[in-house]
Every structure is written in C-alpha cells, then in structure tokens.
Chain A
Amino acid sequence: MSTQLSLGRVARAVAAKDLRIEMRSRVVINQVFPFAGLVMVMFAFALDNDDVLTRVAGGLVWLATLFSLIIIIQRSFAVDTADGALEAQRVAGLDPAGIFVGKALAVMVQLVTLEIMLFVAAVVLYRVQLHADGAVLLVTCVVSATAGLSFVGTLYGGLTAGSRGRETLLPLLMLPVVAPVLIGATRATESAFNSGGAAVSDGWPWVGVLVVFAAVFGLGGILSFGSLIEE
C-alpha cells in the first residue's frame, strides 16, 4: 500500500477526531473549565489581598492553565488508550508525527478556549486592566505559550499513555519542562497588563523565548513521538 497520508492530512484528521470526541462528551467544558475557575477563586482566598492579586494575576492565570493542562493531556490520551485506539492508529499506518501534531492541535484549541475564560475571570475577579497596546502582546503571548505547552504535553502524554502510574508520572515529567513557559508567559502577561509598572515593550523578549520553546519542542516531538508510543 503506497497511499501514505501526508503529515498535514493525518494531523487534521486526528485533531478533528479529538475535538469531535470533546464536543460530544463535553468532559473538558463541563469538568476542566469549572476546575480552572475554581482554582482562580482559591488563589484569591489564599492571597487575600486585592493589590497582590492584581499584581500577580498573570502568574495565577498561567498556573491555573498548567494545572488544567495536566488534566486535558490525561483526558486526551485516556480516550486513545482505553480501547487501544492509539495502537490502531499506528497499525493503520498513520505517520506518528502527524498523530503528534494533530493531538497537539486539539489540545491547543481547548487550551486557548480555557485561557480566554481565565483572562476574563482575571479581569472580573482580580481587577486587571488591559489596554489596546497590551492586547497585541497578550494575544501573541497566548498563542506562542499555548503552542509550547501543547507540544510538551502531547509529547510526555504519549510517553506515559498506557503505562502504570501515568497519573502521577505525567506532572513529574512535564512540569519541570514547562517552567520556562510559566516564567516567560507570566512576565509577558504582566507587561501586557502593566502589572507592577511593567512596560509593554518589556514583554516582547519573553515572547521570543516562548516562540523558541514552542519551535524546539514542536520539532523534538515530530522527530521523537514515534519512538515514544512504539510498543
């Protein structure tokens, strides 16, 4: 059989499949989104100071995103490993790089939706203010940071999929790797919000870090995902 599908077609098909499953089951919308909202409220209880909340809002949004990422990734691979769907995709001859990009794309769509909700929550609960010049920075930061998070999440999710104790292993492997995203996205978001007097121009070098991170792990995932999910 020489009808090998291109990476782009496999990625689109896998992403559409994952998003269709989510649209039908609504696990992320009904469970992960409320969880993330709850985390935002809990942060307010823990910090208990309006000024501090406004100052650290960017970091709290990204922390809530990271916690939710762990659940979204586990969900994304639980769907595939429950009845051997991941092996079936491999046996069907799908390019593992395509599966990687497709799953990462689906995670990215879910994460961006979640982040929009979290930023609205930050404006309402933490009283942050976003000006027009900060909006461009914020959008660029969200896109590049989410790409990096999705690539790393999919990579390590694939590794731990189907293994014993994956629930505990995934955060241990993934969180140290995404630390640069947490630092970079937090600083860029603070600049976009002008928190603590940070200027918008201070945020752009951090977006550079986020773009490099996404590129490195996107490429790393495309090259190594096949080895990680191979049985």
Chain B
Amino acid sequence: MDAQTFNARVATPTTRLIGALAIVSMAWVVIGGLIVTPKDVDQGDAVRIMYVHVPTAWVAYLAFIVTALASACWLLSRKHSMGFDRVAGASAEVGVIFMAMTLLSGSLWGRITWGSYWAWDPRLTTTSFLLVTYIGYLAVRGLGGSLEQRARRSAVIALLAVLEIPLVHFSVLMWRSLHQKASVLSGDGDIKMDGSMLTTLLVGVIGFTCTFAWLVMHRQRVLAMQDAMQMTQLDAALRERADESAGLK
C-alpha cells in the first residue's frame, strides 16, 4: 500500500456524490423538520426531535451491523484483507458517535414526554449497553500490537457483541417495558403519521445514512494511511538498525 496514492485522491466521485446527497437531504430535514411539518396533537413541537432521534438510532444500529459483518468477512476471508478490519473500525467509531446522539436526543425527548431523562426501558437500556460495549471495542482496537493482532482481536470482540446484545435486550425485556410502541413499522402495515412528517422522517433516514457512509469511507481511508505510516516507520526503524549493525562490522 502506497501513501502517495492516498494523498493524490482525497475524494472519489462516489464519496463526492454521497456527500452531496447527504448535504441536500440534511437541508431538507432541517427545513421540513423545523418549518414544514405540523406540530403533534399530543407532543406539540417536541415531536420534531423525532427527525433526528429515529435516523440516528437507525444509523447507530446499522453501523454496528456493518462492523459485525466486516469483522466476520475478515475472519472468514482467506486473505484476511485489512480493508475489512478498517471498515469495521471506522464504522464502530461513527456508530458510537451516532449512538451517543441517539441517547442524548432520546433523553431530551423523554424529559418532555415521559417527564424524566431516563427510564429503565428495554430499548433504552440495550442501546446504552451497546454504546458501552462498542466503546470497549474501540479500546481493544487501541491495545497495540501488529495490525493482524488488532484485526483478529477486534473481530472476535465485535462478533461476541452480536451474541451479547440480544441477551441483554431479552433480559431487560423480561425485566420491564415502557417504551412507545414503534409507530412506523408497527407490523400491521398501517402507518400512523402525517404525510409530510413521514416524508421528512424518511428523508432524514436517507440523509443520516449518507452521512454515515461518507464518514466511514473517509475514516477508513485515514485509517489506511495511519496503518501505512505505521508500516513505513517500522521499515525505516528496521533499516536504521540494519545500517547501524552493518556500520559496526
């Protein structure tokens, strides 16, 4: 891998297109969410938090699915391509930020509608555990060692997290439940939402997903450069030592 190649191509047509899509759809969400859409009958203006809360939650979960899939691909692929590992790492980093945003927007919304910032509800509790688990995952990535070691360790941790999350969710579900039932995907196919609200929400989902994709693509490129730098520094140090010992002879 050559560091020069990265310098020459900071962005590709694909990342530019995704970035542009993200900007346009985010602008739509801001205008739609704050001006165009009506107030909710029960919740008033507080319902506007939904246009941020729901898409960030979706992206956070998507990010962790991407991390798990990329980790599985790294473990299963015969070549153990480091690209999979970097996508897993980049996706987890972005996912942690989005998950923190979900919890923050959710607790503000909860304060207005439930009367408290926090409630011991299964989805909320599972989400907070997921956040802590992936903060741990990122700490494991920072443990040091070779790139191969980092990839192997973190891939196993990511897959163990996939085992953990359903167990946490199920046990908290057995413990207690309070969260508002899903209104868009209620299972009976009957969507209970005003047209402009639904459109804004869906555009929000697209916008946040594009932002996620854009961030992950750029972040994994930065990680690739970091890895390349680490390898170059290692090679240089080895050459220096070799020269030193040659000079001593």
Q: How many angstroms between the C-alpha atoms of A184 and B175 in the bound complex?
A: 9
The secondary structure that dominates the A interface is helix
Q: How many angstroms between the C-alpha atoms of A163 and B139 in the bound complex?
A: 11
Give every chain A residue within 8 A of B136 (Cβ-Cβ).
Answer: 169, 172-173, 176
Q: Does B108 contact A (CB under 8 A)?
A: no
How many of chain B's residues have a CB under 8 angstroms from any CB in A?
28
B171 near A179: Cβ-Cβ < 8 Å: yes
B171 near A209: Cβ-Cβ < 8 Å: yes
Q: Does B163 contact A (CB under 8 A)?
A: yes
**Nearest chain B CB to A145's CB is how many angstroms away?**
12
Q: Does B177 contact A (CB under 8 A)?
A: no
Nearest chain A residue, comparing its CB with the CB of B130: A176
Q: What residues make up the interface of B, taking CB atoms closer than 8 Å to A? A: 75, 129, 132-133, 135-136, 139-140, 143-145, 149, 152-153, 155-157, 159-160, 163-164, 167-168, 170-172, 174-175
Q: What residues make up the interface of A, taking CB atoms closer than 8 Å to B? A: 155, 159-160, 163-165, 169, 172-173, 176-177, 179-180, 183-184, 187, 205-206, 209, 212-213, 216-217, 220, 224, 227-228, 230-231
A159 near B140: Cβ-Cβ < 8 Å: yes
Give every chain B residue within 8 A of A187 (Cβ-Cβ).
Answer: 175
Give every chain B residue within 8 A of A230 (Cβ-Cβ).
Answer: 149, 152
A179 near B168: Cβ-Cβ < 8 Å: yes
A155 near B144: Cβ-Cβ < 8 Å: no
Pick from A165, A209, A213, A227: contact of B174, CB under 8 Å: A209
Give every chain A residue within 8 A of B170 (Cβ-Cβ).
Answer: 180, 209
B156 near A205: Cβ-Cβ < 8 Å: no
Q: Number of residue pairs across A and B with beta carbons under 8 Å?
A: 74
B171 near A184: Cβ-Cβ < 8 Å: yes
Give every chain B residue within 8 A of A164 (Cβ-Cβ).
Answer: 143-144
**Nearest chain A CB to B225's CB is how many angstroms away?**
24
Nearest chain A residue, comparing its CB with the CB of B154: A159
Pick from B140, B155, B175: contact of A173, CB under 8 Å: B140
B139 near A172: Cβ-Cβ < 8 Å: yes
B174 near A228: Cβ-Cβ < 8 Å: no
A159 near B171: Cβ-Cβ < 8 Å: no
B139 near A216: Cβ-Cβ < 8 Å: no
Give every chain B residue within 8 A of A227 (Cβ-Cβ).
Answer: 75, 152-153, 155-156
A173 near B167: Cβ-Cβ < 8 Å: no
Nearest chain A residue, comparing its CB with the CB of B172: A183
Q: How many angstroms between the C-alpha atoms of A183 and B160 in the bound complex?
A: 19
A173 near B171: Cβ-Cβ < 8 Å: no
Nearest chain A residue, comparing its CB with the CB of B162: A220
A173 near B144: Cβ-Cβ < 8 Å: no
A176 near B132: Cβ-Cβ < 8 Å: yes
**Nearest chain B CB to A211's CB is how many angstroms away?**
12
B171 near A224: Cβ-Cβ < 8 Å: no
Q: A209-B174, A224-B160, A228-B153 are in contact. Are A163 and B144 (CB under 8 A)?
A: yes
Give every chain A residue within 8 A of B172 (Cβ-Cβ).
Answer: 183
Given contacts A172-B136, A177-B133, 15 further A-B contacts (CB under 8 A): A155-B160, A159-B157, A163-B145, A164-B143, A164-B144, A169-B136, A172-B139, A173-B136, A173-B140, A179-B129, A180-B170, A183-B172, A183-B175, A216-B167, A228-B156
Give every chain A residue within 8 A of B156 (Cβ-Cβ).
Answer: 159, 224, 227-228
Nearest chain A residue, comparing its CB with the CB of B159: A224
**30 chain-A/chain-B pairs, Cβ below 8 angstroms:** A160-B143, A163-B144, A163-B145, A164-B143, A164-B144, A169-B140, A169-B143, A172-B132, A173-B139, A173-B157, A176-B129, A176-B133, A176-B164, A179-B168, A179-B171, A180-B168, A183-B172, A184-B171, A187-B175, A205-B174, A206-B174, A209-B170, A212-B167, A217-B163, A227-B152, A227-B153, A227-B155, A228-B152, A230-B149, A230-B152
